[in-house]
Structure 1
């Protein structure tokens, strides 16, 4: 073999070696860059950002959407390789997905493959009225507003309770929902939750109660709910109302009067309001009002079904969120003078 041939072979060996080293270096660099992409946070520009994947979107369309939202500037090839590595390329679900600060491409694809769509919450507050509930649902983000334009009867018809009045029928709780759910979906769940709560608690009630149906318990619980927000007073106040029912006394509770006044109530109750008869005026009509006056929570329902024993027939607000109780009208009059009129006797 002559020198020229040897030099030629050496040249090609060296060239191939250099190319192999270059390819190896590129592969190492590429793998490191891919690994960095896979586990580096996406570019989340604002809190609460999300990505909404439409039904039937291809993987290519999903990556394009990520790039269009400036969540990622990485090559689509990297996304494809990551999906292949995770074996999720053909298993990504449609829906809205949260993109919180710090989320990585690997975590986002895992969420999409598992269908862990973004959940939002709406809270029904103890003591709200049905009107308050509809207002809150109307403001809930990404919730379909299917009750818009429907009257009360139509709403109850749509949730499968056509014969019921809505007040009091929805359990105060926090309900999770996803994009695509509607306010009717929330109402159905809250209605079912209240029915389940009454089915559970009614059989455990104090059997001596002057209440004949779970609905009557719901009405009483709504009054207790509006009279106090204090856990240590609910059963005590329920006891006052139960004793009044047992002795055929008028309940004489201001929250029912206010409810009966409707939109005419402007934040203050006057003497004429107490004497103006409405179906909800418990100063003019005996017994319970015809429907609940609010949405009672489970604690208020428990108090109505298990009132505290005692002899008190009256109570008045102290002005600090608590109440003072009395057995007699004379004692009640002194308490009213002291705590309402600020004319406490020495």
Structure 2
């Protein structure tokens, strides 16, 4: 870990020319005291780093100092710069590693191409944190120690013991055979098998993890994309699905069906409103989806969903009624 940090420190100084100890500490996510110790270690190793005092002082490298990194052409570096998804890296506990890798990518470019590549990368945005309606698409927080243990078991091919908090259940320990990690919509998932049965676990619901010594029972090769599609198909076609018949303003159709499992029937009524038959994952999912479009949708069936929405709306209306 320290060797990687020392390389990153050198690359930061090469890229920015001069940085204060506080700025280096922020970039490397360490304390200023650690930065000062790393500067001393670099100097002792013969790296020509020096300090300048004063308001605009800091640390810098002697002009002309070069590191031994394999060069990349402009398009190769640009592809890596825009392909690295910070939210995806954070979901797997690799945010710091991504930042370090990006510094190395930029440093590997010929000096004449560094500025143009960085500017080009600023013209491309991948996986933003909000959508056009300013809804925040934040990744769930996963303790670094937990995700590191899970990641290590996946890579080493070892069985994994996890303490998992399934929805509406008390957390409990279970032993699984990890297959791979997937990030989708900013959320991280562990694909595994348990007693030979396929299982998918949200990383944010894993409270503790322990890699075991015994090897995982899994195939030597895996096509994660295919496995993910297969599990998604089973998820959409199984379980306690709920089918809802609803009338909706056509301008809100996309919002209503955005998270639906399927739209099974659709017709346009005389007044222009749409009559849909929509499948949702379960009762809670159905109620949530229809509630998002408020008065622009009317549930025709099932009756219990109409009652649930009426009860919720009545409670909110009562809470916000004007004072007598």
How high is the TM-score relative to the length of structure 1? 0.24
> Which structure's CA Rg is the greater one?
1
How high is the TM-score relative to the length of structure 2? 0.26
Higher-RCO chain (CA-CA 8 Å, sequence separation at least 6): 1
